[in-house]
Structure 1
Amino acid sequence: MSKLTILAGDFPVGAGRFTFRNFTLPGDKNHYLCETVSANQITAINPATEKLLMLLDTDEDAKKLFEKTKDDQTFFMVKLKDGRRFVAGTDETTFKKILNVVKREIDTPMDEAPSAA
């Protein structure tokens, strides 16, 4: 399980996770609920530059996070099939895992996906 932080977008700001092929994202402002989004729902994923991040309408905590980033911290933007979007930050290793899974999901149509049976 890999940690990520939602910084802006159509989901509340807060902690999230990436496991196997799913994102677990904050679902409400109090973080009592969460929403699971499958990697096959992603239509676009791109690295985000620091200049772009500073243009986002984010709260002060998110802006402080941008300024205190570690060398291995990566920020990225995601667009989902339903039109929702989010910007998140995670470590470089997790970002590479996410990219590999998303690429595999995009390259494998649902009717060709391996069965669990």
Structure 2
Amino acid sequence: MYVVNRQAELGVLRIVLEEQYERHSIQLALLDRQARRLRSDGADLAAASALTAATRRALGDIARALHYLEQGRYGTCGGCDRDIPIEELAHRPSTRLCATCQPEPRRRTGDGCDCRR
């Protein structure tokens, strides 16, 4: 699919995020059901708990992204006000900073952002 402008790209991303939210919601319900069964069996819950926590974090990230999309405040770097690439938003929906403005561990080079934060 060829996307013409930023608003169209964000519209496509909204659809993807809504689908991901639905998928994670279903996964969380299944994990909760599995955890109840494991508790009754006395099995180790560590792996199920870790997966449940990761799913809850993903749901929160996606919910925040959808909220900001709804408000028209999504996809702009909070450090330099440039557009965050759609690919980055799709990979990490909760990102609020471009790669240049990210703290050192996540920073990448060569994306064109010249802010000095």
Compute the TM-score of the two structures, normalised by the length of structure 1: 0.29
Structure 1 or 2: more strand by fraction: 1
Compute the TM-score of the two structures, normalised by the length of structure 2: 0.29
Structure 1 or 2: more helix by fraction: 2
